Amino acid sequence: MSVTEAEVNAWIENDPDEATRAQLRRLLERSEGDDENAAAARAELEDRFAGPLEFGTAGLRGAVGAGPHRMNRAVVRRAAAGLAAYLAEIVGRADPGGSPFTVVIGYDARHGSADFARDTAAVVTAAGGRALLLPEHGPTPLLAFALRHLDADAGVMVTASHNPPQDNGYKVYLGGRVATGPARGVQIVAPQDGEIAARIAAAPPATQVPTAEGWEILGPEVREAYLQRLVSLVPTRHTRSIRIVTTALHGVGGTTLHEALSRAGFTDLHAVAEQAEPDPDFPTVAFPNPEEDGALDLALARARAVRADLVLANDPDADRCSVAVPDTTADGGWRQLTGDEIGVLLGDQAAATAAYGEQFGSGTVLASSVVSSRMLERIAHAHGVRHRTTLTGFKWIARVEDLAFGYEEAIGYCVDPEAVRDKDGISAALRLAYLTAQLRDRGQDLLGALDELAERHGVHATSQVSVRVRDLGLITAAMTRLRQEPPAALAGTAVVATTDLSGGGDLPPTDALILLTEAGDRVVVRPSGTEPKLKCYLEVVERPEPDVHVARHRAAVRMTSLRAAVEDMLDMPQP
């Protein structure tokens, strides 16, 4: 094997955690010999030492385990050392002679999260910074709120969001004296990620990174302030009679969501008991993401049993929110809304309040990612407010100046950017409960509200085609081929414009292509930022004539043809 026994032993010597040291010792012992078990152990060692876990705009994310290409205490200590060195330098320049740099730290209930958070606090403290550790595991938006609320210079959230159970991650936000204006409290982007990564690379081996006791454990005041802010998002003038089923998908948002809903007056609440408590193994779901098939089966069964009006689902770190509503035309009598459908409902709500000066902040801009539905732009213009298109990810959406509302189709929504400059599945759930209550007062529901939006702005049907690969080179090859020979037509309609976002333009350069047809259909092709997938985002727009239901049928037929055309265009083998 290319990784040597000496390299593995050197890592073991500098690993502060006996459990992960023992993992590598067992792998080394098993790797000796010529049988299948030895070959598998050698392959595992090769993977664990394939290189350092890359620190980028998503921070760190990977499988928990021993070795430089895994999430473990050794990797986290060096990451914290690099971040602390960066903050000390930037804050020292911005505020010479001022107070030490401050980092607020949160964590979810995944394997290793609490240890990674405490290690970060210990490294920051030893580096002369002030580490503020949230008192228990909690949702990502609480950390994002705490960063702005406490005016800290940085925030670290230990989470892998909706990744598989074996993963964990390390998200970094900047604020205080390091990032100001609309970037205050937002996840890092270039060049900050590269500057931090360079300092991580220069950090000593993990056992040589200084650590110290003495960090601060925050009291309940920050969570209480967050709850009060959540409740303030729901005005008092509405009915409270709706019945809501919630699921936390074994994550950390359930208690906070229930408390916020209850304080806001929504007391007819029914949690999915099997998924209410944090469990890092996510035993009832194949994949802990509300968008995945089957993830809401238990919630929908509960909703049918109690005759609920609404299902609200958060992902495990509660920064995303999904919704299901009663629908007599759907199988099982319930329909889960798409991320775009939720986005335009919340966006129309936000646009109306922003247009009439009722928004909590001063924002008058609606923002959505380039892969999200174009309907939000039409909604914004109809209300007389502005719209911005950004790259995918809330590190871009949340830093839009004068932001009133932002969303991406992957069920991420920022409804209160003044308080949380990131996606927040709990505040989104509160606003959706409020919207449902408003509509109930008028004898309407969310499906009717979607029909009204379609009548005003056209039917916008969206879908995805994704190809998962084992060999990432297949994705690179497919993107190169599409750039060199883009299709002349899709679904029988000429492609009239091809935009290569790697060349920049109005957006920062990114690896993506936009194909626009003469009929107005749009396809955005891009590699996934978190999974080994090539993803295509499809949108078909139909005028609502003679009525919206006929237009939806026409859009569905066109979407079927467009999906087939995109699959032919990709021509990539399934793994």
Catalytic residue numbers?
Answer: 161
Token digits of residue 206: 């993990």
Question: 246-268 burial, b for 16+ CB within 10 Å, e for fewer?
Answer: bbbbbbbbbbbbbebbeebbbee
Q: φ and ψ at 499, to 5 degrees?
A: -110, 120
Which has the closest alpha carbon to 122: 214, 57, 185, 41? Answer: 214
Q: What pairs with residue 158 in β-bridges?
A: 107, 170
DSSP assignment, residue 238? S
Is residue 397 within 8 Å of residue 408, measured between CB atoms? yes
Side chain identity, residue 73: R
Phi-psi group of 357: left, alpha or beta (phi > 0 → left; psi -120 to 50 → alpha; rest → beta): left
Side chain identity, residue 535: K
Separation of alpha carbons 404 and 350, rounded Å = 7
Separation of alpha carbons 198 and 518, rounded Å = 46
Q: What pairs with residue 69 in β-bridges?
A: none
DSSP assignment, residue 59? B
**Cβ atoms within 10 A of the Cβ of 224, count?**
10
Q: What pairs with residue 407 in β-bridges?
A: 368, 413
Which has the closest alpha carbon to 536: 554, 557, 556, 521? Answer: 521
Rg value, the chain, Cα: 24
Question: The sheet that has 365-369: what strands, in order across it?
Answer: 386-390, 365-369, 403-408, 412-414
Separation of alpha carbons 42 and 267, rounded Å = 56
Q: Where are the beta strands (DSSP E) in 108-224?
A: 130-133, 154-158, 167-174, 186-187, 216-217
Separation of alpha carbons 241 and 457, rounded Å = 31
Separation of alpha carbons 409 and 385, rounded Å = 21
Separation of alpha carbons 98 and 496, rounded Å = 57
DSSP assignment, residue 205? P
Is residue 185 within 8 Å of residue 175, measured between CB atoms? yes
Separation of alpha carbons 244 and 248, rounded Å = 13
Q: φ and ψ at 127, to 5 degrees?
A: -80, 5
Token digits of residue 177: 């004296």
